[in-house]
Amino acid sequence: MTRLQNDDFLRALRKEAVTRTPIWLMRQAGRYLPEYCASRKRAGDFLSLCKSPDLATEVTLQPLARYDLDAAILFSDILTVPDAMGLGLYFESGEGPRFLRPLREEADIAALTAPDPSVSLRYVMDAVSSTVRALNRSVPLIGFSGSPWTLACYMVEGGGSKDFRQIKTMLYARPDLLHRILAVTSEAVIAYLNAQIESGVQAVMLFDTWGGVLSTAAYREFSLAYMARILAALHRTWAGETIPAIVFTKGGGLWLEDVARSGCDGVGLDWSVDLGEARRRVGSHVALQGNLDPYVLFAPPDVIEREARATLASFYHSEIQGESGNSRTGLIFNLGHGISQFTPPEHVHALIETVHGYPLPE
């Protein structure tokens, strides 16, 4: 197969030498870009945008036309999976996602089944195939899913939540029901991500957005265990290529060592974790991805440059027991969470130029 023109993102995940620090941004195709807003307006609403392979391809490519990014990430939404499971996803204006049929009753939970992604999620696979063709081996395409725990939060709560009262009550009062939801959802995520890999993505990522709301014991039992189950069942090679996997638990800094042992190739970090300290804790066993505070991008370009350089220096000049010198690899620069819709687009240029211009250690 023809080699990628820019494979620094994949090389960093494999902890190999890179030509420069690779960078991509969570939610890099989004409302901060005027061209994205125009595409969304043409689609009519967010869900229609997600379900149109042509428009999903269009918005996936928009940030790469504007910026020198080292990876594309498929434009979709984590809640397409529970939608395909029959929960009835819709978006309330100004209030985010909602489900018509949240999982509260035992009979509904018992009847839950994993969908066939080649049928109910065909539009996602079509978007993957279309995007891979359009990228033409320029940079890798990242596929993704929400983690079972994060998806279950929406499925049980019926939408976003401030206190997670419904699902945490289930966790402690009826853990058997929650484990049933998580087991079926894990099956769905395995099939979904493997279908994305078969359609052409070159890396996958699990977004465990709400893992950080759990206690340590609950995180290990109800979130990490299911992500490890998924990682063990994914295609790790396909069409002659190695397919790396990244796990990102927002608020998961307490459990970096556990995440690094989960079977992933890269650990995503939010902005609350120092990159150098994270590297000292997990060693060179896995790559690290992160972790600039997204709100740094509201500051003037000189501040963006200062903060980005400090983040890079923290990683590249950390000392790990048993390693000598400052030779470092295994960093993918990213934000500590998704880019804000209010970010000035020109500030992203300043960030990318700083990251790419930072000298790699000898």
Catalytic residues: 27, 31, 40, 77, 154
Question: What CA–CA distance (Å, rounded) separates 208 from 25?
Answer: 16
Phi, psi angles (nearest 5°) of residue 137: 65, 25
Burial class (CB in 10 A: 0-12, 13-18, 19+), 233: middle
Helix (H, G, I), strand (E, B) or coil at 71: coil
Smallest CA-to-CA distance from 131 within 49, 197, 72, 198 is with 72
Tokens linked to 165: 């009262």
Of 311, 309, 313, 305, give the one whose Cα is nearest residue 347. 305
Q: 360: closest CA among 1, 21, 7, 9?
A: 21
CA distances in angstroms from 290 to 13, 14, 159, 279, 311, listed in the order given: 13, 16, 27, 12, 9
Which residue matches tokens 């490519």? 61
